[in-house]
Amino acid sequence: MVATLACATTGATAKAAPPTTGLTPLFGGEREWVKHRVVGKETLDWIAARYGVSRSDIIRWNRKKLGKKAWIYAGQKLRIHAPTPVPPPREKISYKVKRGDTWSGIAKRHNLPQAQLRAWNKKVPRAFRAGTWLVVWTNPEAPSVPEEEAALEGAAAPLPTFSIKPGGLSVGKPSRGSLSHGVPLPKSDMYTVRNADKAYGATHAIEQMMLAMASFRATSGYDQKLVIGAMSLKKGGRFRPHKSHQSGRDVDIRMPRNVGVKRVKSTSDIDWRATWHFVKALAATGEVDYIFMSWSRQRLLYRAAKAQGATSAELKTLIQYPRKPKTNNGLVRHSKGHDTHIHVRFKCAAGNGRCSTKR
């Protein structure tokens, strides 16, 4: 089952970003043994996510085959005790790039993490042209479960549907820009907004934020509301104490809190496991430039990620820690003052020439 959001920007239904590591499956019913043939550049985390199992379970079921270092390679067959319904096998296809295509758009169309699509096509430049051929391994979903059956098996409740107003455009830089036709954050059971007059954004940024939140809730089981501090003014521009937040692409979000905590005041109030899954959901959209978090807090995020089975390669890509604060590596980067909240900066929408990627 895939949670969906109805997006007024496209007039169609957009799929929530797929998870990138195995979590508790939505359906706790029957299981069956299946053989999975490893695809090139595939990781145990991606395989686990596909079947709704954990990385450690796959290692346990294939201990003799994987050895102590749990290495996998293309063509290798793994035994997986997967919850039913089981997704169909992956198939290798060739995809011809069309005018207006983006890496993130193609990845979403085929239900893939963008990083995986890029890994199969390393020789293709980031700014590809129409007519370029890409290698794609399809990632078909499991057959849907009837509503009556899902209810009996304790499936998660369907996510609400949101209509996101089109036309909101980011203009200029985050630290020196404005917002054209600013879109207010829609009401949602997924979050609360502290200041409605500072909760406007570009359509693209709001859409990606809500897709990430929907995916995060569906895969992590976290059901408390997140708290949004500030995004932008209706027309953008400077407002204190923020230096950025001027073009509708930046948003401050309180880190997920532990059960029973009303307001996050210290690190002990933060649910670091949930924070890690939220960071992954944001990254999986392929539309985030940076996530700012104090370096000292990154250490706690790093530990939670390791405890959840994150690989070294995944950690190196997503978290700056343990590299020094000024190394400018990783999606999550150091910025002073981001101790109990993260600052997310989304990318410019495809085709918006008025938006600047510079800081």
Residues 6+ apart with CB under 8 A from 134: 94, 95, 96, 97, 106, 117, 120, 121, 124, 128
Helix (H) or strand (E) holding 118: helix 114-120
Q: Write down the CATH superfamily of domain 92-137.
A: LysM domain (3.10.350.10)
At residue 147, does pLDDT exceed 80?
no
**Of 279, 352, 295, the residue nearest 329 (C-alpha):** 295
- Common-topology check for domains 92-137 and 169-346: no
Residues 6+ apart with CB under 8 A from 346: 202, 204, 205, 208, 209, 249, 250, 251, 287, 288, 289
Residue boundaries of the structural domains of the chain: 10-87, 92-137, 169-346
- pLDDT of 157 reads 43
Distance separating alpha carbons of residues 230 and 199, to the nearest angstrom: 6
Distance separating alpha carbons of residues 138 and 244, to the nearest angstrom: 39
Least-confidence region, from 60-64, 215-219, 243-247: 215-219
At residue 203, does pLDDT exceed 90?
yes
Average pLDDT in the 157-170 region?
72
CATH code of the region 169-346: 3.30.1380.10
At residue 56, does pLDDT exceed 80?
yes
Model confidence pTM above 0.75? no
The two tokens of residue 39 are 């695809």
For 105, list phi and psi in degrees, rounded to 5: -65, -40
At residue 223, does pLDDT exceed 90?
no
Confidence label for 5 from pLDDT (cuts 50, 70 and 90): very low
pLDDT one-digit tens code per residue, 336-346? 999 999 999 99
Distance separating alpha carbons of residues 59 and 345, to the nearest angstrom: 36
- pLDDT of 150 reads 39
Is it true that domain 10-87 has CATH number 1.10.357? no
Residues 6+ apart with CB under 8 A from 212: 17, 278, 281, 282, 284, 285
At residue 177, does pLDDT exceed 90?
yes
Distance separating alpha carbons of residues 54 and 52, to the nearest angstrom: 7
Distance separating alpha carbons of residues 230 and 196, to the nearest angstrom: 8
The two tokens of residue 41 are 């550049």
Is the CA virtual torsion 253, 256, 260, 261 positive or negative? negative
Distance separating alpha carbons of residues 158 and 3, to the nearest angstrom: 7
Between the alpha carbon of residue 230 and those of residues 95, 211, 253, 280, the distances in Å are: 40, 18, 8, 21
pLDDT one-digit tens code per residue, 297-316? 999 999 888 888 888 889 99
Confidence label for 92 from pLDDT (cuts 50, 70 and 90): confident
- pLDDT of 53 reads 83
- pLDDT of 18 reads 36
- pLDDT of 14 reads 38
At residue 112, does pLDDT exceed 70?
yes
301-333 core/surface letters (b: 16 or more CB in 10 A; e: else): bbebbeebbbbeebbeebbbbebeeeeeebbbb
